[in-house]
Amino acid sequence: MNREYHKGYSSRLGREMEVLVFGHGGMPVMVFPTSSGRFYDFEDRGMVAAVADKIDSGQLQLFCVDSVDAESWYSRAAAPRWRIARHVKYEEYLIHEAVPLIRRTNSDPPLPSLGCSFGGYHAVNIALRHPEIFSGFVSLSGAFDLSYFLYGYYDEDCYFNLPTHYLPNLTDPAILGRLRCNNYVLATGWDDQCLRQNQALDRIMNEKEIPHRLCIWETANSHDWPTWKLMAREYL
């Protein structure tokens, strides 16, 4: 399997950022790690191996990005305003630095996002906010209302980065039209701690007539890597 390591300084984040690429072609996928995770987690946890046949056959190319969760949502010692501002900078890095890296490597038109648990939040949020760039998302046990991370603090940046807050009020026909052309998968389990959040986003997407699938698995310990490996094989 082709495996590439990229490291570069991000002017937007003021730090080095790292990316692992798996595969030589096919549909590119931006892959987010779980809570405060790293760019190598998808490989270390066996997720790359779970879809290795699709990667080796040229169907998929995974771009596993790094996170700054420990500096944003999970930075408990920092003021909430600083934390959400750091997340905004992270999105700027993704759109203006990570996406161009992907496109320099792979020009295949679709570009879905993928993530497990907290990575599911990132995958969903960036795809909904930028439907002209991302052709869809695959969220495995994602959570989408993170307002409890900010201890009651709330401003415009918070609102526009919480999908279950901004999506119900979206009325722009151009944006809705673009969203309705893309492909979205919400995968969870009946015993998943994030089940209700997935059901809530499912209802909102139905109300907005955004085509998607809500897939609820009949499996034990669904919020864990063994189930996510099976889900990745099913939905990628």
Q: What is the CATH number of the domain that holds 83?
A: 3.40.50.1820
Can you give the pLDDT at residue 102?
A: 98
Q: How many domains does the chain have?
A: 1
Asked whether the beta carbons of 186 and 215 are under 8 A apart, the reply is yes
Asked whether the beta carbons of 21 and 61 are under 8 A apart, the reply is yes
Say what the pTM is: 0.97
Instruction: Please give the residue range of the domain that contains residue 187.
Output: 3-235
Positions of E strands within 109-195: 112-116, 136-140, 183-189
Tokens at 235, concatenated: 């939905």
Q: For residues 50 and 158, what is the distance between their CA atoms, to the nearest angstrom?
A: 35
Task: List all residues 6 or more positions away from 89 whose beta carbon is below 8 Å from its beta carbon.
Answer: 12, 13, 68
Asked whether the beta carbons of 113 and 32 are under 8 A apart, the reply is yes
Can you give the pLDDT at residue 108?
A: 92
Residue 163: name the closest of 120, 132, 133, 134 by CA: 120
Sort 170 into a burial class: Cβ within 10 Å, 0-12 / 13-18 / 19+.
middle
SS3 (DSSP) at 114: strand
Q: In whole angstroms, what separates CA 115 from the centre of its chain?
A: 5
Q: For residues 124 and 142, what is the distance between their CA atoms, to the nearest angstrom?
A: 8
Longest CA pairwise span in the chain (Å): 48
Can you give the pLDDT at residue 208?
A: 98
For residue 191, give Cα distances in angstroms to 86, 144, 217. 32, 17, 9
Q: In what order do the strands lie in the sheet with 112-116?
A: 3-10, 15-22, 60-65, 27-32, 112-116, 136-140, 183-189, 213-217
CB atoms within 10 A of CB 7: 10
Q: For residues 85 and 80, what is the distance between their CA atoms, to the nearest angstrom?
A: 8
- Which residues of the chain, if any, have pLDDT below 70? none
Q: Return the ∠ at Cα 172 (arms to 167 and 175), rounded to 5°.
A: 75
Can you give the pLDDT at residue 69?
A: 97
